C-alpha cells in the first residue's frame, strides 16, 4: 500500500511513527510510505520553539532524523511543497515537478499564522512566529532592535512575547480583547495573569485595535491605534491566532467548512474516500483543534483506519497546563461557567498573585471547569475529576484551598477509572499502564518505554509515578524510598538522624542506623549531609573515605586523568593583579585556559602531584577554592549593573559578590548556581539559575529553582521588590530548606516540582513561616557562613592531606599515560591514536639510549 503524507509537523510525524510501529508489530503489513515536507527540515518540536532563544538549537528541537526514517524504510523529501492533487490518477505533484502516486493520501498541512489586514503589515521587520525560519528572522531582527511588540495576547502571543524577551528586547503585548488569553481563562484569571506578566517586565496593552503601522520617530515603526494612542517599536511580531492550511482542499474540490478547515469524520477521512486530514488543518464536528494532543489522536485514528483497525477520533479535551515566561497557567473545560446552572468557587491570594477558580454543576457534584493562575499544582487532580466524571468531595472548595486550610487531599490513583487518561500527548490511559504491567513491565522506566507515557510534554510525570507506585503496591511489590541497601531511609530522613542525634561520622551513623559497610551511594550522601550540618573539613580522616574522586582531590577529574583548577572569582569581578597570577600559573604549569559561562577562569591539565603547588600560589595571591568539584554553590553570575550600564537600576555586581561570599561554603544535594541581573534585560540569565535575582526600581525580584542542564527550567517568581536584608533572609531559608529536604543528587527544580504543594507551599514555609522553622533555618545557614574554610588552604597546611596528592604511592614519577598535544596555541588531551605515536617514539628513544649504554 502506497501512503503519501503531505506535511511533516508534529502531527504528521506522529502519524508516520504509528505506521512504523504497525510495521514492526506485524511483518505482514506492507507499507510504502513517502513523507513530503514543505520545510527544509524534518519534524521538530513547535511546542518549545521559544527555547530557541535560550540556547536550544534546531537539532535539539528535532523530533526525528533522516537516519531514523531511512532505517524504517520511510522515504522523504524536503522543500517539497505539494501544489497539485489528481484524485483520478491518485497522484500529487510538488512545486519542483516531482510526481508521487498514492493509494492513501494524508494531509497534515497544519496551520498558518493569521496576520490582521493592517496597512503597513508587510514591512521588513513585521514578522510571524511559526517555524524555525521565522525564529531565525526574529533573531536577526532582534540584533538590530531594542523594542518589540507582539500583536495577540493569546496562548501563542504570550509564547511569542517570551521569545522577544529571551532575545533581550523591551517587550510589549497588544491585544484586541479586554484581557489576555480570553479563550482559556476568565476575567479574574486574566487580570492576575496580566499583573504577573507585567511584573516580568512585559508591558500589556488590551482593547487596542491597530489601524496602521507607520514610520516611527524614536523607533523604526509607530503603531497607530483606533483610540488615538500610538506605540513605537522596532519590530512587530504577529501572533493573533492561526488559520487551517486548507489550500489544497479548496483548490481540488475536497469539502471544507464554512470558516475553513478540511471536513473529516471519526476516521479522519475527508469527503474523498482515500484522502485523510489530521491536525490543525482538519475540521471535525465543526471544530478545529489547535493543540498537539488532539492532533496525535487524529493521527492514530487515521493510521488505524488505513491498516484496518477500529480506533476513531471522538473529539478531545482542550484543557491546558503550561508555563508562560515562568508563570503557571491552567485551564480546564468550561472555564467561563457558560453551562446552565453552573456555580463557581474562587480563591485568590493577592500578595502572591495566585488565582484559582473551579466551575461545578448546579448540584455541586461534578466539576465542569477550572482556571489556575500562578499555581497549577492542583491541575492533575482537577483534570481527573472533570474528565472522569468523579463525584466532588462534600466541600468542593477544598480542592483549591492552600495546604493546611481545609484543603482536600490529592486524588489518589485508586480513585481513577481504568479509562482515565494519564498522558494526553500519547493517549495513554490508566488501563494501558495496567496492561503494560500484565505484559511484563516491572518499573516506571519500563512503563515509559512501553507506553510512551510522560515522553511528550512531561506534564503527566507526577501522576504517572503515582499510578505506577499504586499498581506496584497492589501487586505486592514494595515501593521503597531507601537510599541504598545499607540504609532503610531517604536522604531527608538521614539528614534528620544526623542533626537530631548529633552524629558526626559515617561510622557512627552506620552503627546506629545502618548495616553492612556502606557503598558508593550512601557514603557520598552522608559526606554531603555531614558537611551541610557540621561543615567539617571534607578531607579529615573520618570523612575522606566518603568522598567521591572529585572531592577527594578537590578538583574535577578530566577525561585524561588530569584535574581542573578553578579558583573562585566572586561575581565575576577580578583585579588585573589576580588576572596576571592566573596567567602566570597557567604558563608555568602549561595548563589549558578557558573562560566559562559562569564568569570564572578554569585551568585544565594539572597533574595530581601539581595541585598543591598550584593552589599554594593561588592562595598566596588571595584566591579561594571555587568548589567546582563539589555539590555546593558554584558561581553567582552577574552583569555590570547600575555601576556601568545605562539600563541598570541596582548594583548587581556588589550584590553578587556579597551573596557568593555568604553561600560559598554551602554543601547541598546538587550543585547550586546564582544569577544577579541589574535590570529586566537579564544579561546575567538569572531566571535560569537555582537562585535568580533581578533588580527593580524598588529592590529585588527573587526567582527560585531554575536550572540549565539536560532539562532546562526557568525559575519561579518567588517574591518581588525585596530589600537586601529580606532578600538574604529568604535565600537563607529556601536553600537550607532544600538542603534539609532534597533527595540525593536532586536539583532544586526537581525538588520544587516534587514538593507537595509546590511553589505556594514553599512560599508559606519561607515567607509566612507556616512550619515555625524559619529562625532555625537562618541559624543553621549562619553557622555555615561562620564556619567557612577554604578547603584548599586547609589542605596545603596539612601534611596528612598532602600525602594524598601523589600519582604513585611508591614513586615520585608522573603518569606517562597523560599525554598532551598543542592545538590553537594551547594543550589538549591526546587522542588514542596520538598516544600510540607518542608511545612508539618513546620506545624508540628508550631503545636508542639502551643501545648507546651497551656500546659505552
Q: Tell me what pLDDT residue 404 has.
A: 47
Burial class (CB in 10 A: 0-12, 13-18, 19+), 760: buried
Name the binding residues for siroheme. 683
∠ CA 370-375-377, nearest 5°, is: 80
Within 8 A by CB and 6+ apart from 752, the residues are: 704, 705, 716, 758, 759, 762
Name the binding residues. 639, 645, 679, 683
pLDDT averaged over consecutive 10-residue blocks of the chain (856 residues)?
95 92 65 94 86 77 91 93 95 96 96 92 92 90 94 88 85 94 91 90 93 94 95 94 93 94 96 95 93 90 91 87 80 92 93 91 94 88 88 89 57 77 80 87 80 73 80 79 82 90 93 88 90 89 84 83 90 92 94 89 90 94 92 93 89 95 93 94 91 94 84 85 96 95 88 84 93 93 93 89 72 70 83 73 59 52
Domains of the chain by residue range:
2-112+244-306, 115-240, 319-409, 412-479, 491-534, 552-625+791-811, 631-786, 820-855
Tell me the CB-side half-sphere exposure of residue 647, using CA atoms within 13 A. Answer: 15
Q: Tell me what pLDDT residue 102 has.
A: 96
**What CATH number is given for 412-479 in this structure?**
1.10.10.1100
Q: Tell me what pLDDT residue 768 has.
A: 93
Cα dist. 744→478, 483, 548, 740 in Å? 20, 8, 14, 11
**What CATH number is given for 2-112+244-306 in this structure?**
3.50.50.60
Q: Helix or strand or coil: residue 763?
A: helix
Instruction: Give the CATH H-level superfamily of domain 319-409.
Output: FAD/NAD-linked reductase, C-terminal dimerisation domain (3.30.390.30)
Cα dist. 68→28, 76, 171, 352 in Å? 21, 11, 40, 47
Cα dist. 803→566, 799, 809, 844 in Å? 21, 7, 9, 35
> What sign does the dihedral 821-825-828-833 (CA atoms) show?
negative
Asked whether the domain spanning 115-240 has the same topology as the one spanning 2-112+244-306, the reply is: yes
Helix pair angle (155-166, 132-142), 10° resolution: 50
Chain-centre distance of CA 119, in angstroms? 39
Burial class (CB in 10 A: 0-12, 13-18, 19+), 845: exposed
Q: What is the DSSP letter of 91?
A: E
**What CATH number is given for 631-786 in this structure?**
3.30.413.10
Tell me the CB-side half-sphere exposure of residue 187, using CA atoms within 13 A. Answer: 2
Specify whether the CB–CB gap between 6 and 109 falls below 8 A: yes
Name the binding residues for [4Fe-4S] cluster. 639, 645, 679, 683
Burial class (CB in 10 A: 0-12, 13-18, 19+), 855: exposed
Look at domain 115-240 and name its CATH class. Answer: alpha beta
Cα dist. 763→11, 760, 768, 771 in Å? 39, 5, 7, 11
Closest to 373 (Cα-Cα) out of 200, 159, 197, 158: 197
Distance CA 630, CA 634 (A): 8
Distance CA 654, CA 306 (A): 65
Q: Tell me what pLDDT residue 772 has.
A: 92
Cell output for 289: 483543534
Q: What is the DSSP letter of 62?
A: B
Q: Tell me what pLDDT residue 25 has.
A: 59
Closest to 691 (Cα-Cα) out of 666, 710, 681: 666
Fold classification of 552-625+791-811 (topology level): Sulfite Reductase Hemoprotein; domain 2 (3.90.480)
Q: Tell me what pLDDT residue 405 has.
A: 43
**Alpha-helical runs (H) found in 557-649:** 576-588, 611-620, 641-644
Cα dist. 459→123, 181, 467, 674 in Å? 39, 20, 14, 26
Three-class SS of 455-505: CCCCCCHHHHHHHHHHHHHHCCCCCCCCCECCECCCHHHHHHHHHHHCCCC
Cα dist. 683→163, 167, 249 in Å? 15, 10, 48
Specify whether the CB–CB gap between 556 and 628 falls below 8 A: yes
Q: Enumerate the β-bridge partners of residue 186.
A: none
Distance CA 777, CA 148 (A): 43
What are the backbone dihedrals phi and psi of residue 772, each rounded to the nearest 5 degrees, phi first? 70, 30
Amino acid at each position: 500500500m502506497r501512503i503519501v503524507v503531505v506535511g511533516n509537523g508534529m502531527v504528521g510525524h506522529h502519524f508516520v511513527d504509528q505506521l512504523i510501529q504497525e510495521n514492526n508489530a506485524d511483518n505482514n503489513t506492507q507499507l510504502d510510505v513517502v513523507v513530503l515536507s514543505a520545510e527544509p527540515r524534518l519534524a521538530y518540536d513547535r511546542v518549545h520553539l521559544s527555547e530557541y532563544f535560550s540556547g536550544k538549537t534546531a537539532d535539539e528541537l528535532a523530533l526525528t532524523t533522516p537516519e531514523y526514517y531511512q532505517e524504517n524504510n520511510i522515504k522523504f523529501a524536503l522543500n517539497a511543497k505539494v501544489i497539485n492533487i489528481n484524485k483520478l490518477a491518485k497522484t500529487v505533484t510538488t512545486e519542483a515537478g516531482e510526481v508521487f502516486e498514492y493509494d492513501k493520501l494524508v494531509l497534515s498541512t497544519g496551520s498558518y499564522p493569521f496576520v490582521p489586514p493592517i496597512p503597513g503589515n508587510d514591512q521588513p521587520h513585521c514578522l510571524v512566529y511559526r517555524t524555525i525560519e521565522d525564529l531565525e528572522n526574529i533573531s536577526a531582527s532582534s540584533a538590530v532592535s531594542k523594542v518589540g511588540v507582539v500583536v495577540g495576547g493569546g496562548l501563542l502571543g504570550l509564547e511569542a512575547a517570551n521569545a522577544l524577551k529571551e532575545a533581550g528586547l523591551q517587550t510589549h503585548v497588544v491585544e484586541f480583547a479586554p484581557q489576555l488569553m480570553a479563550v482559556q481563562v476568565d476575567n479574574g484569571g486574566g487580570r492576575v495573569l496580566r499583573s504577573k506578566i507585567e511584573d516580568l517586565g512585559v508591558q500589556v496593552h488590551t482593547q487596542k485595535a491597530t489601524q496602521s503601522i507607520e514610520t516611527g520617530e524614536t523607533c523604526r515603526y509607530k503603531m497607530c491605534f483606533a483610540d488615538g494612542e500610538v506605540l513605537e517599536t522596532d519590530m512587530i511580531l504577529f501572533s493573533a491566532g492561526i488559520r487551517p492550511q486548507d489550500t489544497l482542499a479548496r483548490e481540488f474540490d475536497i469539502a471544507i467548512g464554512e470558516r475553513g478547515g478540511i471536513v473529516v469524520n471519526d476516521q479522519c477521512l475527508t469527503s474523498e474516500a482515500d484522502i485523510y486530514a489530521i491536525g490543525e488543518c482538519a475540521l471535525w464536528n465543526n471544530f478545529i483543534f489547535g493543540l498537539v494532543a488532539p492532533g496525535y489522536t487524529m493521527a492514530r485514528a487515521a493510521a488505524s483506519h488505513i491498516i484496518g483497525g477500529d480506533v476513531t477520533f471522538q473529539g478531545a479535551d482542550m484543557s491546558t497546563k503550561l508555563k508562560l515566561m515562568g508563570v503557571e497557567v491552567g485551564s480546564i473545560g468550561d472555564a467561563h461557567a457558560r453551562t446552565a446552572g453552573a456555580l463557581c468557587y474562587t480563591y485568590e491570594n493577592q500578595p502572591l498573585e495566585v488565582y484559582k477558580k473551579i466551575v461545578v454543576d448546579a448540584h455541586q457534584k461534578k466539576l465542569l471547569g477550572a482556571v489556575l493562575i500562578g499555581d497549577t499544582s492542583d491541575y492533575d487532580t482537577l483534570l481527573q475529576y472533570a474528565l472522569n466524571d468523579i463525584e466532588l468531595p462534600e466541600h468542593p472548595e477544598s480542592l483549591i484551598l492552600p495546604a493546611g486550610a481545609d484543603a482536600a487531599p490529592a486524588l489518589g490513583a485508586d480513585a481513577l477509572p481504568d479509562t482515565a487518561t494519564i498522558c494526553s500527548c500519547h493517549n495513554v490511559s490508566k488501563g494501558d499502564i495496567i496492561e503494560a504491567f500484565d505484559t511484563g513491565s516491572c518499573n516506571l522506566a519500563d512503563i515509559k518505554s512501553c507506553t510512551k507515557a510522560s515522553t511528550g510534554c512531561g506534564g503527566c510525570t507526577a501522576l504517572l509515578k503515582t499510578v505506577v507506585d499504586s499498581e506496584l503496591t497492589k501487586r505486592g511489590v514494595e515501593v521503597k524510598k531507601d537510599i541504598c541497601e545499607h540504609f532503610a531511609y531517604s536522604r531527608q530522613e538521614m539528614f534528620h538522624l544526623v542533626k537530631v542525634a548529633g552524629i558526626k561520622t559515617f561510622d557512627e551513623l552506620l552503627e546506629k542506623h545502618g548495616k553492612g559497610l556502606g557503598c558508593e551511594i550512601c557514603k557520598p550522601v552522608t559526606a554531603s549531609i555531614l558537611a551541610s550540618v557540621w561543615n567539617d573539613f571534607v578531607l579529615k580522616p573520618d570523612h575522606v573515605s566518603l568522598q567521591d574522586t572529585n572531592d577527594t582531590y578537590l578538583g574535577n577529574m578530566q577525561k585524561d586523568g588530569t584535574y581542573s583548577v578553578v579558583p573562585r572569582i566572586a561575581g565575576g569581578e577580578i583585579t588585573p593583579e589576580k588576572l596576571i597570577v592566573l596567567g602566570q600559573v597557567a604558563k608555568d604549569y602549561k595548563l589549558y585556559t578557558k573562560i566559562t559561562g559562569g564568569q570564572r577562569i578554569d585551568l585544565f591539565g594539572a597533574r595530581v602531584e601539581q595541585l598543591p603547588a598550584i593552589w599554594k600560589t593561588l592562595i598566596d595571591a588571595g584566591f579561594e577554592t571555587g568548589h567546582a568539584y563539589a555539590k555546593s554553590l558554584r558561581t553567582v553570575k552577574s552583569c555590570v549593573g547600575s555601576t556601568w550600564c545605562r539600563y541598570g537600576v541596582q548594583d548587581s555586581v556588589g550584590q553578587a559578590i556579597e551573596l557568593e561570599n555568604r553561600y560559598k561554603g554551602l554543601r547541598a544535594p546538587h550543585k547550586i548556581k546564582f544569577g544577579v541581573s541589574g535590570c529586566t534585560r537579564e544579561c546575567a540569565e538569572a531566571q535560569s539559575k537555582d537562585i535568580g535575582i533581578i533588580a527593580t526600581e524598588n529592590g529585588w525580584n527573587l526567582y527560585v529553582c531554575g536550572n540549565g542542564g539536560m532539562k532546562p527550567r526557568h525559575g519561579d517568581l518567588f517574591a518581588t521588590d525585596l530589600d537586601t536584608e529580606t532578600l538574604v533572609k529568604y535565600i537563607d531559608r529556601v536553600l537550607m530548606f532544600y538542603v534539609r529536604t532534597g533527595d540525593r543528587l536532586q536539583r532544586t527544580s526537581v525538588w520544587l516540582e516534587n514538593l507537595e504543594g509546590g511553589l505556594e507551599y514553599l512560599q508559606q514555609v519561607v515567607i509566612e513561616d507556616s512550619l515555625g522553622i524559619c529562625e532555625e533555618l537562618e541559624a543553621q545557614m549562619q553557622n555555615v557562613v561562620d564556619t567557612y574554610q577554604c578547603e584548599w588552604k586547609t589542605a596545603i597546611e596539612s601534611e596528612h592531606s598532602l600525602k594524598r596528592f601523589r600519582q604513585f604511592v611508591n614513586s615520585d614519577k608522573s603518569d606517562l599515560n597523560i599525554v598532551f598535544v598543542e592545538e590553537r596555541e594551547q594543550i589538549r588531551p591526546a587522542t588514542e591514536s596520538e598516544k600510540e605515536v607518542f608511545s612508539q617514539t618513546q620506545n624508540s628513544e628508550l631503545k636508542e639510549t639502551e643501545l648507546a649504554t651497551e656500546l659505552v
